Structure 1
């Protein structure tokens, strides 16, 4: 009974030990692996070589491109610098040209202005047919101011004078005499001012003053444009004359306003070029000229007296 199990046990152990044939088979595989190892190493070396070569190529290509780009950038900077310099030069040249053009335009405008003034002066010099419409004291406007003086200040002064005189005609003749006297005074003052302006321009050099015909037009224009300023000085001089400063007549308010109005009107008339004048008074019983006069209180064909 104990025999078979022992036999089986020995059989199991014997089965675990490889036979001679199997051992020989494993030993026959070993030379094949050793033969493959050198080939693998060779392949590995080739792969490493190719990898290094590819790495070098990758490094060389970007460097070449960078150098090319740097060269192009340097060239672009150089060209840009040249263009900036050229632009600055052209800008300076343009500014200089603009300045020259502006100066030429100013000179041209000045020439046009001088030519226009000369042509205007040539046309208007002592020519009553051509009127400067920009002048607020042109003859037509002075005519309107004369009518306003008659309607206002003259009427108020007449109402005061008529109380003193026996007739209206006496008061009217007094007011007319004042107007004539003021006009004569302004004629004298106007001539004095014109001479004084030429003297100032020539520095009181009599020889230059005699040859100062070129100042004639500028002096006339100056007097015309400063006429309103001169009214106060003329008025002051008139009231300081011997015939007026001590007379009570000239201190009355309404009469004084009439004289002030006459002074302003007559001064503005005398600074015109040519001066504006009053027509000669019509003689009594002469034909009534409707172009120069208008009726006072009644109409008729002959003049009684001038207002």
Structure 2
């Protein structure tokens, strides 16, 4: 069965491909901000007086999720590619370089590599719990995580981990851009509660198709 035919006749993969479309992910990312983020903000505001501190906590979660997802997706892809290359070299009696494969087997390797991206999509749901644990471990080094058991916060964390993992398993990965205090107003961010000429604090990251790529969803910043 050809590569394209296998994809065409695989309903599960077709569903996954739709889930991994950048426009679908960007829409869900906006919904995460408008729903889970707002609910978590209200829940956390009961415990913390400063809105800026609450926003910072929520921003740290989504950016930690992105950082861990980006790192782990890179490791995963590298390991899968190395495994395919190693197996093909062994089948050809080689143990050193891909360059020593025949032209035919180079083509097969390239085909296998392209299908690795589909394999990652199929395996994606099984990786998310492990990614979540890594995110929480990462955050616990510098932050109090007593809030993690709150209902709305838990839903927000789950949403951040799932969506950033989807972003980072694309090729190239999607990109999240933040801003910092005193940055000038830019096309990447819209105002939160008040407008102004420079940033007071970042509320929500900007989502780009890839690093230095076009904006899919503007971020949100409190301006001054």
Q: TM tier, shorter chain?
A: 0.5 to 0.7
2:166 to 241, 259, 268: 268
CA contact (8 A) 1:199 1:209 kept: no
Cα distance in structure 2, aligned partners of 1:257 and 1:209: 47
Name the residue aligned to 1:248: 146
Q: After the TM superposition, which of the residue ranges 176-185 and 134-143 deviates more from structure 2? A: 134-143
1:189 aligns with 2:79: no
SS of 1:294 mapped into structure 2: strand
Matched with 1:305 is 201
Contact kept? 1:282, 1:303, Cα under 8 Å: yes
Aligned match of 2:180:
283
Post-superposition offset of 1:296 = 0.9
The 3-state SS of whatever aligns with 1:164 is coil
Q: d(CA) in 1 for partners of 2:82 and 2:117?
A: 14
Q: CA deviation at 1:194?
A: 1.4
Partner of 1:294: 190
Answering whether residue 147 of structure 2 is matched by residue 231 of structure 1, we say: no
1:259 aligned onto 2:157 = yes
3-state SS, counterpart of residue 306 of structure 1: strand
TM-score by length of 2: 0.65
User: 1:218 Cα deviation (Å)?
Assistant: 2.4
Equivalent position of 1:163 in the other structure: 46
Matches within 5 A, 1:140-179: 140-179=23-62
CA distance in 2, matches of 1:230, 1:148: 23
Distance 2:114 2:96 in 1: 14
Change over 3 Å in CA distance of 1:208–1:191 after alignment to 2: farther
Higher helix share: 1
Tell me if structure 1 keeps the 8 A contact 2:61–2:139: no
| Structure 1 length-normalised TM | 0.49
CA distance in 1, matches of 2:96, 2:58: 40
RMSD: 3.5
SS at match of 2:191: coil
Counterparts of 1:157 and 1:233, CA distance in 2? 22
Count of aligned positions: 179
Q: Secondary structure at the match of 1:297?
A: coil
Q: CA deviation at 1:264?
A: 0.3
Give runs of aligned pairs for residues 58-137 of structure 1, distance below 5 A: 110=2, 113=4, 135-137=18-20
Q: Tell me the SS of whatever aligns to 2:197.
A: coil
Distance 1:205 1:172 in 2: 51
**Could you tell me whether the CA contact under 8 Å between 1:198 and 1:209 is conserved in 2?**
no
SS at match of 1:135: helix
Q: Give the secondary structure class of the aligned counterpart of 2:183.
A: coil
Q: Which residue of 2 aligns with 1:3?
A: none
Distance 1:205 1:255, change over 3 A: farther
What does residue 115 of structure 2 align with?
A: 218
Counterpart of 1:90 in structure 2 is none
Partner of 2:213: none
Q: Larger C-alpha radius of gyration, 1 or 2?
A: 1
Change (3 A) 1:177 1:204: farther
